[in-house]
Amino acid sequence: MKQKHGDIYKQNVSMGKGENFIVMVGHPDYAKTVFQAPEKEHRRFKLQLIDFFTKKNNFQKPLALLDGKEWEVQRKPTQEKMLRPAVVANYVPLIEKVTDDFIEKLGRKDKTEDLFTDLLNYATESVGMLCFNKRLGCMENDNNPVAVHVRRLFEMLGTSVMRPRKSHMTPDSKFYQEYEKKTFEFTKIAGDIIDSQKILLSKMKDEGQLEKYLEEEPNFLHSLLSDPRVTEESATSMVTTLFGAGIETSANTLTFVLTDLSLYPDKQKKLYEEIQRIVGDSTNLTKEHLARMSYLKACVKESLRRTFPLSSGTGRYLETDLEVGGYDIPKDTLVVVNSALMSNDERFFPRPTEYLPERWLRDTEGELAISRNFPFAYTPFGIGPRSCLGQRFAENEIFIAVIKIIQNFQISLPAGVTEIKSDYTLFRTPSEKVTLYFKKR
C-alpha cells in the first residue's frame, strides 16, 4: 500500500459504529505530529472481540478498553508499580530463579524442535512469578493449560483483527463460542491462582509474617490489593490481563532475538564477550549488570525492529482536527502510525534487512547512525501516556533470559536455514516450528 499511496493514505475498512476508513502514516515526521496531538480522553483502537465479550458477560473491562477519566483512574496506580525502574529492579531475583531452571532444562538436551513452545512455557512461568509470586510448573509440561489457552486466545484475537467477520461476534457461531469458552477457562485458571495467593497473604498477615515476607520479596498482586485506589475487582482484572498479554509478547520477542543471534554468529560472539566482560561466570545477575549491557539492549532493539511485533503500529483517535503531511484529518478519525513499515524503511534504517545491533549504540558513526535521528520511527511499546504498562517487566525478562542462554550455550539453527518466516496473529509469531541447537560452553 505504501508503494502505491506514499507516506500517508486513507484505507477503507469495516469497523462498525459507522467507521469506514482509517488513515495510515508511514513517516517519522507525520508520526511525531500524531503522537504530539493534544489529548484528554486518550482513545485507542479497541479489540472488538474482547469488547463484545465483556459487554455480553458483564465482565470488568480491562484497562485497554477504557478511555478518559475511567482509564486514568485505573492506569495511574498500576503505572506507579510497573514503570519505575527502581521498583522493577526488585523483581530481577524472581525472574532469575525461573530462568536458571529453564537453563537447567535446556542443558538436558542439545536442541529444541519447537523453540516458541519452550519459550511460551518459560514466559508463562516467568510472568506467573511476576504477577502471582507463584511457580506454576509450566516448563515441564509442553501442554500446560495456561500456555495452551493463551496461545489459542491470541490466535483467535489475531484472526478477528486480520480477517474480521460478523460471525466472530455472533453469540451462536462456532468461532465465538470457542473464544468465550477459552476466555472463561483462562479467567478461572488465573482467578483460582489469585484467590489462593489472597488466602496466603491473609494468613501471613494474621500470623504477623507479612511484613517480613514483603521486605524479602516484592509482590505485585499485594501492592495492588493494598492500594486504596484499586478495587479488588480491578486488581484481579489487571493482573489477569497482564499475565495473558505478557506471556505471548515475551515468548515471541525471545524467539526472534535468539534466532537472529543464531543467524548472525558474529553478533552472538560480540554479545557473549560483553556478557563475559560484565557478568563473567557469575550466576547472580544484578540491576547494575543489566544497566551496563548496552550491546544486549541493542540486540533486542534490533530484533524488535527487524521483526516488528505488531502488524502495523499504534492507532489513536484524533480529539481535534489535525493537519498531517499537508492533509486535513477530521476529529474522531482513527490514525494508525505504521511503525512496522517505518522500522524496515531504508530511509530511516539503512540496510534494513540486515541484523545490525550497532545502529543503536551511541558511539556508532556513519550511515547506521542516521537511525538515531528518527525516534518516532521505532515504537514497539507504544509512546506517551498509553504506552505498554508491562514494558520494563518484559524487557528485564527478555534481557535475563538472553544473558543466561548466551552465557551457557552457543546457539545455532539447522544447516541451510537462512531466515525465520513469520505470520501475524495478534502479534508477530513464527510461521513454523523452529529448531534451535544448544552447545554447552
pLDDT digits (tens, 9 = 90+) for 312-339: 888 899 999 999 999 999 999 999 999 9
Residues placed in the known binding site:
388
In this predicted structure, the answer to whether residue 18 has a pLDDT above a threshold of 80 is: no
Domain regions of the chain by residue span: 48-60+67-304+384-440
Q: Quick check: 88 and 393 in contact, CB under 8 A?
A: yes
Per CATH, which fold does 48-60+67-304+384-440 belong to? Cytochrome p450 (1.10.630)
Measure Cα distances from 383 to 28, 196, 315, 386 in Å.
13, 35, 11, 7
Residues placed in the known binding site for heme:
388
* pLDDT band of 21, cuts 50, 70, 90: confident
Most confident of 72-76, 256-260, 372-376: 256-260
> Buried b vs exposed e over 11-50: b needs ≥16 C-beta within 10 Å?
eeeeeeeeeeebbbbbbbebbbbbbebebeebbbbbbbbb
As to burial, measured by CB atoms within 10 angstroms (0-12 exposed, 13-18 middle, 19+ buried), residue 67 is middle
CA dihedral defined by 292, 295, 301, 306, rounded to 10 degrees?
-170
User: What whole-number percentage of the chain has pLDDT above 70?
Assistant: 98
What Rg do the C-alpha atoms of the chain give, in angstroms? 22
pLDDT digits (tens, 9 = 90+) for 187-196: 999 999 999 9
Q: Quick check: 53 and 179 in contact, CB under 8 A?
A: yes
* DSSP category for residue 174: H
Q: Quick check: 304 and 13 in contact, CB under 8 A?
A: no
Cα 84-88-94 angle, rounded to 5 deg: 170
Greater pLDDT, 164 or 422: 422
Q: Quick check: 315 and 11 in contact, CB under 8 A?
A: no
Nearest to 256 by CA among 313, 293, 307, 296: 307
pLDDT digits (tens, 9 = 90+) for 132-168: 888 888 888 777 888 888 889 988 998 988 888 888 9
Nearest to 404 by CA among 309, 296, 304, 307: 296
* pLDDT band of 4, cuts 50, 70, 90: low
